[in-house]
Amino acid sequence: MDPNTLFWIVPVASLLVLACAAKFFFDMKKADEGTDRMKEIAGYVREGAMAYLKQQYKVVSIFFVIIAVIFGVMAYFGLQNKIVPVAFLTGGLFSGLAGFIGMKTATYASGRVAQACRDAQDGLNKGLQLAFRSGAVLGLTVVGFGLLDISGWYLILDNCDWMVAGEGVSKLVTITTIMLTFGMGASLQALFARVGGGIYTKAADVGADLVGKTEYHFNEDDPRNPATIADNVGDNVGDVAGMGADLYESYAGSILATAALGAAAAAGAGWAYEQGLQLVMAPMIIGAVGAILSILGVFMVRTKPGANQTQLMAALNKGINFSGVLIAILSAVILWVLGINNWLGIWGSIVIGLVVGIAIGKVTEYYTSFEFKPVKFIAENATTGPATVIISGIGVGMISTCWPVIFIVLGTIGAYLCSAGEFTFSAENMSMGLYGIGIAAVGMLSTLGLTLATDAYGPISDNAGGNAEMSALGDDVRSRTDALDALGNTTAATGKGFAIGSAALTALALLASYIEELKIAALNYGETFKTSYFGDTVLNSAEVAKMNIAEFMAAFDVTLMNPKVLLGIFIGAMLSFLFCGLTMNAVGRAAKSMVEEVRRQLSDKDVFEGRKKADYARCVGISTQGAQREMIVPSLIAVVVPVATGLIMGVPGVFGLLAGGLAGGFVLAVFMANSGGAWDNAKKYIETGDASFCGKHTPIHDASVVGDTVGDPFKDTSGPSLNILIKLMSMVSIVTAGLNIAFSLL
Amino acid sequence: MDPNTLFWIVPVASLLVLACAAKFFFDMKKADEGTDRMKEIAGYVREGAMAYLKQQYKVVSIFFVIIAVIFGVMAYFGLQNKIVPVAFLTGGLFSGLAGFIGMKTATYASGRVAQACRDAQDGLNKGLQLAFRSGAVLGLTVVGFGLLDISGWYLILDNCDWMVAGEGVSKLVTITTIMLTFGMGASLQALFARVGGGIYTKAADVGADLVGKTEYHFNEDDPRNPATIADNVGDNVGDVAGMGADLYESYAGSILATAALGAAAAAGAGWAYEQGLQLVMAPMIIGAVGAILSILGVFMVRTKPGANQTQLMAALNKGINFSGVLIAILSAVILWVLGINNWLGIWGSIVIGLVVGIAIGKVTEYYTSFEFKPVKFIAENATTGPATVIISGIGVGMISTCWPVIFIVLGTIGAYLCSAGEFTFSAENMSMGLYGIGIAAVGMLSTLGLTLATDAYGPISDNAGGNAEMSALGDDVRSRTDALDALGNTTAATGKGFAIGSAALTALALLASYIEELKIAALNYGETFKTSYFGDTVLNSAEVAKMNIAEFMAAFDVTLMNPKVLLGIFIGAMLSFLFCGLTMNAVGRAAKSMVEEVRRQLSDKDVFEGRKKADYARCVGISTQGAQREMIVPSLIAVVVPVATGLIMGVPGVFGLLAGGLAGGFVLAVFMANSGGAWDNAKKYIETGDASFCGKHTPIHDASVVGDTVGDPFKDTSGPSLNILIKLMSMVSIVTAGLNIAFSLL
């Protein structure tokens, strides 16, 4: 079938998905808000969250404007396409908008979920549906805006000849590489959202826990704790808005990178326009069909009135499995209908992607759930104090990097070989092999609308519990919100597997896209190049543009013994650590201010005994300022270092940087996420488990709380930010490829 | 001057150095052993240490025999030179012997140092000299055996024609590449010594501290603490024997790798035998002259009777600065006398190496000394509990990786450009550029005899303090041993800078040596190769052998877009984490057994009140068994993974593995060493500093003890083992290069 006809599925799906998100939003708004006290609490959280987001977008806008101006200047000097600044801005805009809408929904929803849980007969089922569909607003908005931005730009660029010259496959290459640059806008927005949100939420959380729980033995969400509103706000800005921006970036990035690789593969092999178009359309259409399946999946998540927790879990899983299995089947159909030659092989890559995502999720579950040995081992180490909790948690986290890396390696090899067509590695099939790696990531993320709903559902239930506690709704309501919350934690492991797995595969695909951008930049630059490593061979740009990937790499000597490549790898690996160190310390500093403020307020006996209302706004303000101040340096590093490396060490240095950053960042991200998750659940195991040393408020429990507190910034600030860092660095390099071609110091 | 004549400096220096070590040993033996109680304590420590080493060498021997047999089989099938198994064994033998002698000396010396410190007038000076010269036994033995092994093998291989065929430069290439394989024996021995010793010492230390100090508020080295002897034994097996083997490996490795690169550079450029020989001899002779300067330096470390701590420090520094400055000058003379063409450029590389070592040392000091902000920041974070101590310590450690990486990058570029001759990067000058990187490492380590003395001096003083405490020698003696100990800590930072900097540079040089081994293997294998990435080009082995490095890398497609290379980098980065995770957990498990044993013994009131002697031997046994059991898996991984990667992914995969392991391992090693050091000193700052929150036995101090305990395995087990891991993996690949040429699955 004509790919251009099939393409219309994409904008249609995007509008359908957005309409559905709007419906869920307005349905939720109609639900009962509960008592005045419940409205009051919800109001505080909403205000805090909106105040934060307003501040955040103000800072981020300045960055975006500056960078867009720089891109404009680069475009003026022919180092970049003139559409890039605009594309860059739309990527950031839609990403921010998705986070904003998702968070707005979450802050409206949580009080209403608490109210729904007050229904003694059917509270769980009602609460589940309301929370889940409110979560789905985020999921569907992210996917809807992503598809809208992609299909919109494709239509514009394909039809406006003054924007993109040329025709046939080479026009496709140009279009897809320009579109990639809107991915950079999304990445940058995502990094700010993740880092800022991550610092906010963990400063509040650590501050609330250290004083409230440890020093005063308050329960979670005790209204006397001044940091408790900030803590609830944090769930929204970090786990909803931050995660939304993060996955918007992954989603758009994987589709865009794959499309660009498809066009490049067709150009390299000299295929017809039709064949190139098939490859470009495939990831978009798979995404669109996955989005529609996500809507169906969301509707499937419902249970009988009076359902218990196991039935709730079954309901969630039914939706996820349904859409997962169906997209696996339908993507074969899509590839076949598109008429792609090696459709079966490419389908194999997609299936491999799904399997790798599930496998990494299972490993994550093994290392972070208290039903298995590693978390129990950490819990046992709590009997000898906090130091051994930390040592064993770090040990477990480091060991846990082994299998995810092996799965990524096997998955990458498998996805490459399937799509490459001949089950061998060679210079000729490399483009298609890399396309296979990209489309594996697309497969992983195709039902993001649904899996993201599962993720956003977590903080909404968490906040509903907070609202119930602060409004003193009684233990039965609280136990229902807790049941909803626990459900969210179980599904989160799989979600994390897909997020981190797709990040690695997308980053690999982006590396290949960088080469395509370099070739285009070389053509535009239009001069000759001297490659010093090959006896002063002079290449002209037309020759460069015709090279296949292996030839290009050899010509620019991006081989492993080139010191620039090796040193780039060093810098890349270091950068991940530096970035994590900065964000860890940012949380530490912000948490310290929070601890001091909470201690100051609670030293007032009236506040401590609940006669005087705690000053929540001050704590919200501390987190907001802390996050805004601290997010700038790490984010700046992510943008500046790739550019600086390019200016000093040229193309080989940048490649080294990206590869080192990717490998080092991936491993570090897995370590931090799993250590953090394992500490969290080791504490929960000690609180609720059946070992002889279990129980609350013992020194053993206190030791486990130390682990949990250390784990907070590991798993919710530094770890997830790394996922974005590794892609943002590639995106920055892609957008500034023109500079790398034009100049380098060494 | 004829290089072959100058060469004789090497064996002569080696014998001189060994004779001097023997003199220091026998001088020390003549010193007064002190009271019966002192002899008894020293005896316990000596017995424990020897029992451990005996057990250790038993386990290691099995490994060595198995591997030597495998090498023998490989040699039989022409995949390796037949000398390799023997060379491999000698490397391991001398490395082990140096550790054994150093440790024997240390265990004899520490009681005698305590006795020397009892002299009220001149105790400090006497103690310093005795401790320092006993430490010098280790330093000089390591250097002496290293030079003996190197010069001995060179003489044998150069003169026995039935071992090495050919003549001229190609014979030089064969000789130097065979000699490299004795580096693998040294590396393997070093890894076992570091990992086993590291686990031993930290299991004992953590166990002794957690129960003794935290639960019972004993002082350090309280004789009632059952783990106190094991703790003292640990200093010897970890910080003396382990470090000796470690630096033996660095020292020999850097000289051997540089010599191999020199021969390869001459072969590649088609230079005469004379010129090749000059390049091969230069690192050996610089090492020999440095060794002699080290002896002079040792003799310069002395002060007036009644010297205070500042004067002691000045005395130490005088020796170090003297030999450092002199070797910088004399190496220019050596290069000039040898008649090397670009002697000034190569000398520039050596100076750059020294500067980089000093710079990394300064950064280490900044991040780990309590006179600067980072450690004070961690100490302040102790006011909000152990969790924030851990968060900030990890943050500081991660940030601290930035400058060492930048220095290594700048140093590598500088060393390359100086030796390459034309201040540009090109395919032609690459061999000489890499030679420059290697010789920079040789420069760093040239005065190892002296710097290692400073390192070994630390545990000897520490043990002297232990002996004084357990023998109840009184506060004035203890304060003198403490002063000696404090001195050791200050000089250790610089030593660490040189150790880690030289490890990175040596590993870079070893990567280049791997190519040379591959070429030789290709010649021996004598068939044709198909390089699938370049349109099925068939290369014959003679062509491969003639390629320069850049051509070789391109032909085997060791470019960064080759998925095998990228995935190799992933595996390499992961391996560092896995290795650290395993060793961290090993310490955790062994420490847990120790804690339980100490608690059991101290629950006996007679032991607690000092009426009944604690059962020291049981604790020694627990550490020994724990270390032996736990060291096997991590060590095995380091050997097996490079071989397995080669079998599956061939040469590109191995290169990726080595580069990823090097970059990831280096950064991780710096992070762990500096976090650990910073926690240690944050605790000391809280104990002795002048901030308002300082003081012992407060909750703030307890929080800092948690940091210190976590830091123990960071800085003394996992971190330093990584230095060896990154080189051992290269060594294994070099030795099994024949396999990589002959077969790979993908």
Backbone angles phi, psi at B595, to 5 degrees: -60, -45
DSSP codes joined into one string, B259-313? HHHHHHHHHHHT--HHHHHHHHHHHHHHHHHHHHHHHHHHHH----TT--HHHHH
- Quote the tokens at residue B179: 């000699």
Residue A391 with chain B: CB contacts under 8 Å:
206, 584-585, 587-588, 591, 709-710, 713
Evaluate if residue A533 carries a pLDDT over 70: no
Strand A537-540 versus strand B528-531 pairing type: unpaired
Look at A74-78, A560-564, B337-341, B416-420 and tell me which has the smallest mean pLDDT: A74-78
Evaluate if residue A53 carries a pLDDT over 60: yes
A211: distance to nearest CA of chain B, Å?
Answer: 9
CB A395 to CB B582 under 8 A? Answer: yes
- Quote the tokens at residue B716: 């003394």
Among the partner-chain residues B214, B559, B671, the one whose CB lies closest to the CB of A385 is: B214
How far apart CA A415 and CA A399 sit, in angstroms, is: 26
Scan for tokens 């191995």, then name that residue.
B654
Residue A595 with chain B: CB contacts under 8 Å:
384, 388
How far apart CA B652 and CA B660 sit, in angstroms, is: 12
Among the partner-chain residues B394, B401, B534, the one whose CB lies closest to the CB of A578 is: B401
How far apart CA A285 and CA A255 sit, in angstroms, is: 10
- Decide if A727 contacts A658 (C-beta within 8 A): no
- Quote the tokens at residue B625: 């068994």
- pLDDT, tens digit, 9 for 90 and up, residues A93-109: 999 999 999 999 999 99
B368: distance to nearest CA of chain A, Å?
Answer: 15
Angle at A126 between CA A121 and CA A132, to 5 degrees: 155
CB A550 to CB B572 under 8 A? Answer: no
Neighbours of B337 (CB within 10 A): 15
- pLDDT, tens digit, 9 for 90 and up, residues A220-279: 788 888 888 898 899 888 888 888 888 899 999 999 999 999 999 998 888 999 999 999
Residue A397 with chain B: CB contacts under 8 Å:
581
Q: Which of A28, A20, A187 is nearest to A106 (CA)?
A: A28
H helix or E strand, kind and range, residue A188: helix A168-207
- Quote the tokens at residue A294: 């996500």
How many domains would you assign to chain B? 1
Residue A574 with chain B: CB contacts under 8 Å:
401-402, 405, 663, 667
- Most A CBs within 10 Å, among B577, B587, B683, B709, to test the A interface: B577
- Quote the tokens at residue A731: 């995106």
Which residue type occupies A508? L
The residue segments making up the domain with residue B189 are 3-742
- Is residue B669 very low, low, confident or very high in pLDDT (cuts 50, 70, 90)? very high
CB A391 to CB B713 under 8 A? Answer: yes
DSSP codes joined into one string, B217-271? -PPTT-TT-TTHHHHHHHIIIIIIIIHHHHHHHHHHHHHHHHHHHHHHHHHHHT-
A564: distance to nearest CA of chain B, Å?
Answer: 8
- Is residue B331 very low, low, confident or very high in pLDDT (cuts 50, 70, 90)? very high
CB A585 to CB B559 under 8 A? Answer: no
Q: Which of B520, B580, B505, B620 is nearest to B231 (CA)?
A: B620
Evaluate if residue A629 carries a pLDDT over 80: yes
Scan for tokens 């009051």, then name that residue.
A40
- pLDDT, tens digit, 9 for 90 and up, residues A280-313: 999 999 999 999 999 999 988 877 777 777 887 8
- Decide if B176 contacts B256 (C-beta within 8 A): yes
Q: Which residues pair with A43 in a beta bridge?
A: none
Evaluate if residue B538 carries a pLDDT over 70: no
CB pairs under 8 A between A and B: 331
CB A573 to CB B664 under 8 A? Answer: yes
Among the partner-chain residues A400, A574, A666, the one whose CB lies closest to the CB of B667 is: A574
- pLDDT, tens digit, 9 for 90 and up, residues B679-707: 999 998 998 888 888 888 888 999 999 99
Backbone angles phi, psi at B167, to 5 degrees: -155, 175
Among chain A residues, the shortest Cα distance to B532 is held by A426
Neighbours of A269 (CB within 10 A): 15
- Quote the tokens at residue A564: 């620039």
Among the partner-chain residues A511, A560, A582, the one whose CB lies closest to the CB of B553 is: A560
Among chain A residues, the shortest Cα distance to B705 is held by A387
pLDDT of residue B279: 95
Among chain A residues, the shortest Cα distance to B655 is held by A560
Residue A565 with chain B: CB contacts under 8 Å:
560
CB B559 to CB A561 under 8 A? Answer: no
3-state SS, residue A532: coil
Among chain B residues, the shortest Cα distance to A386 is held by B706
CB B511 to CB A561 under 8 A? Answer: yes
- The stretch B308-336 carries a mean pLDDT of 87
How far apart CA A361 and CA A355 sit, in angstroms, is: 10
- Quote the tokens at residue B150: 């190197």
3-state SS, residue A539: strand
- The stretch A457-467 carries a mean pLDDT of 89
Among chain B residues, the shortest Cα distance to A507 is held by B566
Q: Which of B717, B243, B200 is nearest to B458 (CA)?
A: B243
CB B549 to CB A564 under 8 A? Answer: no
Among chain A residues, the shortest Cα distance to B392 is held by A585
CB A572 to CB B663 under 8 A? Answer: yes
Residue B394 with chain A: CB contacts under 8 Å:
581, 584, 710
Among chain B residues, the shortest Cα distance to A570 is held by B663
Among the partner-chain residues B386, B426, B580, the one whose CB lies closest to the CB of A532 is: B426
3-state SS, residue A540: strand
CB B561 to CB A511 under 8 A? Answer: yes
Instruction: Express as a percent the part of chain B with pLDDT over 70.
Output: 97
- Decide if B293 contacts B327 (C-beta within 8 A): yes
- Quote the tokens at residue A158: 């394909």
- Most A CBs within 10 Å, among B213, B377, B390, to test the A interface: B390
Among the partner-chain residues A561, A581, A592, the one whose CB lies closest to the CB of B384 is: A592
A312: distance to nearest CA of chain B, Å?
Answer: 36
- pLDDT, tens digit, 9 for 90 and up, residues B520-529: 888 776 666 6
How far apart CA B153 and CA B10 sit, in angstroms, is: 12
Q: Which residues pair with B540 in a beta bridge?
A: B528
pLDDT of residue B474: 83
Among chain A residues, the shortest Cα distance to B676 is held by A391
pLDDT of residue A62: 93
Residue A426 with chain B: CB contacts under 8 Å:
532-533, 536
Burial B115-139 (b: 16+ CB within 10 A, else e): bbbbbeebbbbbbbbbbbbbbbbbb
- Quote the tokens at residue B186: 């040294």
B695: distance to nearest CA of chain A, Å?
Answer: 20
pLDDT of residue A531: 58
Residue A700 with chain B: CB contacts under 8 Å:
none
- List the end-to-end C-alpha distance of chain B, in Å, as a whole number: 51
How far apart CA B205 and CA B712 sit, in angstroms, is: 8
CA distances to A245, A373, A390, B587 from A376, in Å? 34, 5, 14, 17
CB A706 to CB B549 under 8 A? Answer: no
- pLDDT, tens digit, 9 for 90 and up, residues B33-79: 889 999 998 999 998 898 888 888 998 999 999 999 998 998 888 77
CB A413 to CB B381 under 8 A? Answer: no
Instruction: Express as a percent the part of chain A with pLDDT over 70.
Output: 97
- pLDDT, tens digit, 9 for 90 and up, residues A13-47: 999 999 999 999 999 999 999 899 999 989 999 98
CB A550 to CB B534 under 8 A? Answer: yes
CB A387 to CB B706 under 8 A? Answer: yes
- Decide if A123 contacts A477 (C-beta within 8 A): yes
Burial B516-538 (b: 16+ CB within 10 A, else e): bbbbbbbbbbeeebebbbbeeee
- Most A CBs within 10 Å, among B377, B435, B506, B561, to test the A interface: B561
Q: What is the mean pLDDT of chain A?
A: 89
Q: What totals of helices (H) and strands (E) does chain B contain, helices first?
A: 25, 2
| Contacts with B514 (C-beta within 8 Å, 6 or more apart), sequence order | B654, B655, B658, B730, B733, B734, B737
Please tell me whether the interface predicted TM-score (ipTM) of this complex is above 0.95. no
- List the end-to-end C-alpha distance of chain A, in Å, as a whole number: 51
- Most A CBs within 10 Å, among B375, B391, B413, to test the A interface: B391
Residue B570 with chain A: CB contacts under 8 Å:
405, 408-409, 662-663, 666-667
Scan for tokens 């000897």, then name that residue.
B460
